Amino acid sequence: MKEIIHNQDNVEEEEITEVVVRTKALIIKDEKILFGNENNIYQFPGGHVEEGESLIDCLKREIREETGIEIEEEEIQEPFLKVVFKNRDWPEPGKNRKAEIYYYWIETDKSPNLENSQYTEHEKEGNFQLETIPVKEAVQYLKENMDKNEKNKVIVPDMIMAIETYLNNQ
């Protein structure tokens, strides 16, 4: 598994006061990839691991909540990319957060079922929507739309790396 560490604040491991773990999925169907779009912030389906939850259980739950797709464990490969962010004084002064994000790819014949999705209030307020893009056009699409929201400058480079890693392994 490839690992990328972002540590612009030079936070040492012993300075970390909290760790947040997330999972993200590149969901591929018919050579198209599924994105979430909330207020023009692009993301892969996924989210925070809850207490006592495994990475796989988190991934399955988040995919179901955001897409309505019921993923089976046998559809899930091992994570292929881990991205770590170490931030000083985040999310508030005196806290130093380490965020670990595990990326998976899932090739499936299942389509989103929005009747089975469960969006959070934040997602509803942000007009969360799903988009499918041909996977071979996804990198260019993200680059062309990166300026639509400032947060994309943090999120999209890792999304591009994940897509390129997936394409290079096909």
Burial class of residue 66 (count of CB atoms within 10 Å of its CB; 0-12, 13-18, 19+): buried
Quick one: pLDDT band at residue 125, thresholds 50, 70, 90? confident
The pLDDT, as a whole number, for residue 169 is 85
pLDDT of residue 114: 81
pLDDT in tens, 68-118: 999 999 999 899 999 999 999 999 999 999 999 999 999 999 999 888 888
Q: Is the pLDDT of residue 164 over 90?
A: yes
Asked if residue 52 lies in contact with residue 130, where contact means CB atoms within 8 angstroms, the answer is no
Range of the domain at 144: 2-168
Percent of the chain with pLDDT over 90: 85
- Can you tell me the mean pLDDT for 122-135? 87
Q: Would you state the pLDDT for residue 115? A: 83
pLDDT at 120 over 90: no
Q: Is the pLDDT reported for residue 6 higher than 90?
A: yes
Q: What is the 3-state secondary structure (H, E, C) of 101-142?
A: EEEEEEECCCCCCHHHCCCCHHHHHCCCEEEEEEHHHHHHHH
Tell me the backbone φ, ψ of residue 56, rounded to 5 degrees. -65, -45
* Counted domains in the chain: 1
Residue 143 sits in a domain of what CATH number?
3.90.79.10
| Confidence at 7, pLDDT banded by 50, 70, 90 | very high
DSSP code at position 77: P
- Residue 61 contacts residue 116 (beta carbons within 8 Å): no
Q: Above 80 in pLDDT, residue 29?
A: yes
pLDDT over 80 (residue 61): yes
The Cα–Cα gap between 59 and 48 comes to 9
